[in-house]
Amino acid sequence: MKHFFVFILAFILFMFPVSAQEDLLDLLEEMEEETTDYTTATFKSLRVINGHSIEIPAPGVLQFVISHRFGRVNGGAYEFFGLDDANMRMGFQYGMTPWLSLGVGRSSIAKTYDGLIKIKLLRQRTGVKSFPFTLTWVSGMAINGLRFTDPNRDNLFSSRMAFTHQLLIARKMSDGFSIQLSPSLVHRNLVANIEAENDVWSIGLAARQKLSGSLAINAEYYYLLPGYTADNFQSSLSIGIDLETGGHVFQIMLSNSGAMTENLFIANTTGKWSAGDIRIGFAINRVFTLKKQ
């Protein structure tokens, strides 16, 4: 009799499962395999403000940027607060592979031609194989295009050249906040005087805070390591806002640096925020998908 009751109880329990549909969803969840999730959108553009971010264009994507930096705001009303004096850079960057991109550009300041190679070494990821940072290497070359001031001197082409190497290390801390460290080396083949450094070392620090789905605020600081450059020039400090639409990222910024290539904004900034040597700038980034994925 005891056995009979146990049998009936078990039979009833097994025949009428509770919330059958919920069980089905749980069944699917049990089937799930552990995946690795790669972090995306650490920054919304290829440059945080002046300096590079860890982002590169996706393969087959061409990014075009037009940037302007105006004159110093403390130029006053006569200079229309710096807006009368504008310099411009236009650049293209193309995604060759998921980890490699190449770029070219031209600035009106010193008629500079620049080229760069950007390699994504490691991606931040969570899940089965997790890694806390995204690491990108950038190497760039800038060529001063101005005519030599003294044609009678022995002027070498190599004197026009400057090189920048950076290891960018970034972490997306949360959905809205990202931070980046950018140890950098700027090498100038020719410098102004005998005491000036050919090699200028600096550490960049950048941060981004999302304000809404399309709006973010950024800050960037390139700290010059002690030396002649740090004694005679200013560290570049910038603050800016990103506005993202479908295919464009619009950036507006304030900076004490007037140029947009590393050899100039890292190693050659003379403006002081405290003196009002602040320049308004903007950039328009546009994405063209040349090859669909």
Partner 1 sequence: MKKLLPVLGLLICVSSLQAQKLIVRNGHIWFYSQAPLEDIEAHNHQVTSVIDMASGNMAFAVLMKAFQFEKALMQEHFNEKYIESDKYPKASFKGSISNFKELDLSKDGTYDVKVIGELSIHGVSKEVQADGKLIISEGKLSATSTFPLRVADYEIKIPAVVRDNIAKIVDVHLEMDYGAMEK
Question: Which residue ranges make up the site for partner 1 (CB under 8 A)?
Answer: 3-4, 6-7, 10-11, 13-15, 20-22, 24-25, 27-29, 31-32, 37, 40-41, 58-61, 175, 213-214, 245-247, 287, 289, 292-293
Which of 114/242 has CB closer to partner 1?
242
- CB 121, min distance to partner 1, A: 20
Which of 41/156 has CB closer to partner 1?
41
Q: Closest by alpha carbon to 63, among 291, 247, 286, 290?
A: 286
Tell me how far apart the alpha carbons of residues 177 and 240 are, in angstroms, rounded to a whole number. 15
- CB 169, min distance to partner 1, A: 21
Which of 21/149 has CB closer to partner 1?
21
3-state SS, 112-130, equals EEEEEEEEEEECCEEECCC
- CB 35, min distance to partner 1, A: 8
* Phi and psi at residue 237, to the nearest 5°: -130, 125
- CB 164, min distance to partner 1, A: 27
- CB 74, min distance to partner 1, A: 35
The strand ranges marked E within the chain are 36-38, 61-72, 86-97, 100-107, 112-122, 125-127, 134-143, 161-172, 177-188, 199-210, 215-224, 236-244, 248-255, 279-289
Which of 151/246 has CB closer to partner 1?
246
- CB 26, min distance to partner 1, A: 9
Which of 32/150 has CB closer to partner 1?
32
Long-range pairs, 80-89, Cβ under 8 A, ≥24: 81/280, 82/279, 82/280, 83/280, 87/258, 87/259, 89/65, 89/260, 89/261
Which of 167/252 has CB closer to partner 1?
252
SS3 235: coil
- CB atoms < 10 A from the CB of 223, how many? 15
Which of 29/154 has CB closer to partner 1?
29
Burial of 100 from C-beta contacts in 10 A (0-12 / 13-18 / 19+): middle
Helical (H) or strand (E) element with 144: none
- CB 286, min distance to partner 1, A: 11
- CB atoms < 10 A from the CB of 203, how many? 14
